Every structure is written in structure tokens, then in C-alpha cells.
Amino acid sequence: MVETTPGDVIVNTRSKSRPGATKEQDRATPITVYPNTRKEHASRVCARCFARNVSGETFCKVCGEELPTQGVDLDLGVTRRVDVSAVTTTLLIHGVGDVDGDVAVPIDKDICLVGRASPADNVRPDVDLAPFDQAQYVSRRHAFILRRQGSVVLEDLESVNGTFVNVTQQLAPHVLTPLHDGDEITFGQTRCTVRIGSVGA
């Protein structure tokens, strides 16, 4: 019995019975086992959103950031840990104009784009603030809400009218700012409140 591990390549050298050989002699013919040494092509990991991109890409497929020139070799034989976010996040958008009352939008992705949808420009944000922003103060790609290692952070994407936390704190572009439960976020002039809770709470 030949012991193998997942991913090993087994090459059976028993082609056909050798002329004049008994069944016992055929069974004694060795089987060659090559260990799994396969690797993926070098990947480029985005420094902003940590998305993995193929080596030929120049800009991140998720956030558009220019990728580092150095590739990262990723071994297929290594067991990967599933990264499960430890928090649940909801963005409560305060209704204005034609929107009556507050609207709760769950943030169920690790990278969530907040902005104003524009089909003509092929911009489809995860949180579309267009119904709450009739005067168009929200940029098409306004900000990211990111889940990172059990916490929630906010990143302004060089928006025209800015992103503010708790009214007075204006975010510098591309600077990750931690969010806490109950923080008020203003995208342009659209007010929201972030609700953050532990999983299972």
C-alpha cells in the first residue's frame, strides 16, 4: 500500500503484463509517487484592500489601486484559514427628500463601496446613496467601509465633498479611520449612523 497525501501525483508504471511474468511479479512492480509541489502563479496583493490579483494585472480589480511590482508566491498545498468577520455592521441612512424615515443597509462584505450609482459610467456601489442625494453631493465612488480583523474602518476615496465622522472629523483621502458603534457618518451631505455588533449578539 503506497501512502500519499492530498495533491500527490501518482504515476502507475505497470503498463501491461510483462511477457512470461506471473501476477505476483506484476504486483511487485513499483508505483512512483511525486509529492505535490504545485504552486499558483505569483499573485499581486493590493496594499489598500488586500485583494489578490493575478500577476499580469497593473491595477487592483476591486478598488483600482496601482499594484506593487513584486509578486507573492502562494503555495496551493498550504491550508488556508477562512477569515470570518467577528462583527455585524449596518449602515442606517437617515431619510431626506422623497425618502421617508431611515433605511437600514447591512454591510455584509469585507469591502463595501459607498457612492452614487451611475449606469452610464458603469458605477454600481454596494450602498447607493443616490435616492438620498438629490443635489448630488455624493461622489460616484465616495468611500469604502472595510471589515478588518474584527473591526470596521472607513476610507474616503478622494470624494469631492468629503466624508465626515461625528460631524467635525473630516477624513483625509485613503486614510483608514476606525468606526465605533453609533458613529455618525456624513457622505457629502447625506447623514448616516453605523451600527456595529458582535456576531451572535
Mean pLDDT by 10 residues, the chain (201 residues): 52 54 59 52 67 73 70 47 65 75 90 92 92 92 89 94 95 93 95 85 50
In a shared domain, residues 116 and 176: yes
In a shared domain, residues 102 and 185: yes
How many angstroms separate the CA atoms of 111 and 49, rounded?
Answer: 7
In a shared domain, residues 55 and 127: no
In a shared domain, residues 51 and 137: no
pLDDT, position 112: 94
How many angstroms separate the CA atoms of 145 and 10, rounded?
Answer: 47
Residue 107 located in a structural domain: yes
Burial (CB count within 10 angstroms: exposed 0-12, middle 13-18, buried 19+), residue 195? middle
In a shared domain, residues 132 and 49: no
pLDDT, position 71: 53
Residue 102 located in a structural domain: yes
pLDDT, position 19: 61
Domain with 60, as residue range(s), is 7-12+32-80
pLDDT, position 78: 47
In a shared domain, residues 131 and 62: no
Residue 25 located in a structural domain: no
How many residues appear in the chain?
201
In a shared domain, residues 110 and 62: no
In a shared domain, residues 142 and 192: yes
In a shared domain, residues 47 and 112: no
At 9, is the secondary structure helix, strand, or coil? Answer: strand
> Model-level pTM?
0.59
Domains in the chain: how many in total?
2
pLDDT, position 54: 74
In a shared domain, residues 95 and 58: no
Q: Write out the DSSP string of 105-165.
A: EEE-SSEEEEE--BGGGTB--SEE-GGG-TT--S-SS-EEEEEETTEEEEEE-S-SS-EEE
In a shared domain, residues 49 and 117: no
pLDDT, position 60: 74
